[in-house]
Amino acid sequence: MATVAILGGGVGGLSAAHELIERDYEVDVYERNAELGGKARSIPVAGSGVGGRADLPAEHGFRFFPGFYRHLTDTMSRIPTDSGFAVEHLTPATQILLAQSGRRNELIAPTDLPTTPDELTALMRFLWDFAGPTAHSADRPDFLPAPHAHLPAVVRRAP
């Protein structure tokens, strides 16, 4: 049996290891950090847990897998967990938060075409803010919410 060494225990390295193991290779993964996961891992914030609870996680990187990442989600569908498979822990996003420089701090865009009046308003607000000169333009139509108006949460964690 051939042995393969993989340098890096992030998403790419672990995915490669999983694929190779399924093809009967022996795999050694070398990671310089104490935990695997690379930029997709959570790091506990020491002392942040209160009342006997575990420390809260800090995020090292983003966890966004667009639909065209089909190979990653295919691999996740074959990774068993205590309650099923890894892919079952993904939560679909309904909005995208975009950062921009020199204008409003963020823009919120829907991921799909609107199906409700609130979603249509969010899309119109995004298009106005994206194309407009500033976020606080005096020409902002009255029917668009103010920049700090409440909009639904971008991502909800699975229980």
List the chain domain ranges. 3-89, 93-159
CATH 3.50.50.60 assigned to domain 3-89? The reply is: yes
Enter the tokens of residue 110. 């829907």
Is there a contact between 30 and 6 (Cβ–Cβ < 8 Å)?
Answer: yes
- Percent of the chain, pLDDT > 90? 25
Amino acid, res. 106: E
Give the global pTM: 0.57
At residue 158, the pLDDT reads: 43
Instruction: Report the range out of 103-107, 119-123, 128-132 with the highest average pLDDT.
Output: 119-123
Is there a contact between 112 and 94 (Cβ–Cβ < 8 Å)?
Answer: yes
Pick the range with the lowest mean pLDDT from 44-48, 78-82, 152-156.
Answer: 152-156
CA dihedral defined by 125, 62, 93, 145, rounded to 10 degrees? -20
pLDDT > 90? residue 30 = yes
